[in-house]
Amino acid sequence: MNHYHSLPRREFLALAATAIGGTLVGYGSQITAPPRIVSLKDAHIGTLEIDLRIMNQYMKQPRVVQDFYTACRVAMTGNSPEQAVAQVCRQFNRRKIGGPLLGDLSASSVAVWMHLPEPDVVKVLLTAVDSDTSTTFIASEAARVHSVRCEGLSPDTAYRYQVIASDGVRLGEGRFVTAPTERLKQPFRMAFGTCFHKVGMYRPELMQLIQERGNRAMWILGDSAVDGRKDDLQMINVDYLLRDLSAPWQQLSANVPITATWDDHDYWGNDTSGAFNNQKKPIDVAGLLQSWRMQWNNPQRDVEREGIYFQTKIGPVHYIALDTRSCRVNAQRGQLHSFLGETQTQWLKQQLAESTSPCIVISGGTMWSDYISDGKDSWGTWDIEGREEIFQWIDAKSDSLVLLLSGDRHGARGFEIPRPNGKKIYELEVATMGGVPGPGAFGKNTEDQLFGLESRSWAFGELTFSPDGQGLKTVFRL
pLDDT digits (tens, 9 = 90+) for 90-109: 999 999 999 999 999 999 99
The whole-model pTM stands at 0.92
Q: Which phi and psi (to 5°) does residue 109 adopt?
A: -160, 165
* 29 pLDDT higher than 50: no
* 35 pLDDT higher than 90: no
Give dist(CA 115, CA 412) in Å, integer. 33
Q: Does the bond joining 100 to the residue before it have cis omega, within 30 degrees of 0?
A: yes
Can you give the pLDDT at residue 444? 86
Q: Tens digits of per-residue pLDDT, 341-374? A: 999 999 999 999 999 999 999 999 999 999 999 9
Q: Tens digits of per-residue pLDDT, 413-441? A: 999 999 999 999 999 999 999 999 999 99
* 243 pLDDT higher than 80: yes
Give dist(CA 17, CA 382) in Å, integer. 36
How many angstroms from the chain centroid is the CA of residue 257?
10
Give dist(CA 196, CA 201) in Å, integer. 6
Count CA within 13 A, CB hemisphere, residue 294. Answer: 17
Q: Tens digits of per-residue pLDDT, 165-196? A: 999 999 999 999 999 999 999 999 999 999 99
* 121 pLDDT higher than 90: yes
* 11 pLDDT higher than 70: no
Can you give the pLDDT at residue 400? 96
* 214 pLDDT higher than 80: yes
pLDDT > 70 in the chain, percent: 92
* 13 pLDDT higher than 90: no
Can you give the pLDDT at residue 37? 85
Can you give the pLDDT at residue 5? 35
**Which residues on adjacent β-strands are paired with residue 71?**
none
DSSP string covering 95-107? --SEEEEEE---S
Can you give the pLDDT at residue 474? 97
233-244 helix and 48-56 helix, angle to the nearest 10 degrees: 20
* 2 pLDDT higher than 70: no
DSSP string covering 308-367? S-EEEEETTEEEEE---STT--GGGTTSTTTTT-HHHHHHHHHHHHH---SEEEEE-SS-
Side chain identity at 349, as an amino acid letter?
K
User: Stretch 46-69: mean pLDDT, rounded?
Assistant: 97
Q: Are 402 and 410 in contact (CB under 8 A)?
A: no
Secondary structure element (H or E) that encloses residue 431, with its range: strand 424-431
Can you give the pLDDT at residue 1? 28
* 63 pLDDT higher than 70: yes
